[in-house]
Amino acid sequence: MATRETAEEGQTLAIVTGPAGAGRTTAIRALEDIGFEAIDNLPLSLLPRLLDAGPPARPLALGIDPRNRDFASADLIDLIAGFAAQPGLQPQLVYLDCSDDVLLRRFSETRRRHPMAPGDSPQLGIAREKDLLRGLRHRADLLIDTSDMTPHDLRAEIDRWFAPDSGTGLAVSVQSFSYKRGMPRGADYVFDCRFLKNPYWVAELRSLDGRDAAVQAHIAVDPRAAAFLDRVADLAAFLLPAHREEGKRHLTLAFGCTGGQHRSVALAEKLAARLADGGLQVSIRHRELDRHAEARGGGEARGA
Q: How far apart are CA 245 and CA 231, in angstroms?
A: 22
> Can you give the residue ranges of every domain in the chain?
11-162, 171-295
CA dihedral (181, 109, 152, 59) positive or negative: positive
Q: Report the run of H or E that residue 47 belongs to, with start and end.
A: helix 47-50
pLDDT classification of 56: cutoffs 50, 70, 90: confident
Can you give 118-178 as a three-state secondary structure string?
Answer: CCCCHHHHHHHHHHHHHHHHHHCCEEEECCCCCHHHHHHHHHHHHCCCCCCCCEEEEEEEE
Q: How does pLDDT run across 57-68, given as a tens digit for each residue?
A: 889 999 998 877
Which CATH class for the 11-162 domain?
Answer: alpha beta
Q: What is the pTM of this model?
A: 0.55
Q: Can you list the pairs that 2-5 forms with residues at least 24 positions away whose Cβ atoms lie under 8 Å?
A: 2/34, 2/35, 2/36, 2/58, 2/59, 2/164, 3/34, 3/35, 3/36, 3/59, 3/162, 3/163, 3/164, 4/164, 4/165, 4/167, 5/59
- Closest among 58, 49, 57 to 83, alpha carbons compared: 49
Q: How does pLDDT run across 138-178, given as a tens digit for each residue?
A: 899 899 999 988 888 888 888 888 875 534 457 788 999 99
CA dihedral (270, 275, 277, 278) positive or negative: positive
- Closest among 194, 215, 208 to 266, alpha carbons compared: 215
pLDDT classification of 4: cutoffs 50, 70, 90: very low
Answer yes or no: are the C-beta atoms of 21 and 103 closer than 8 Å: yes
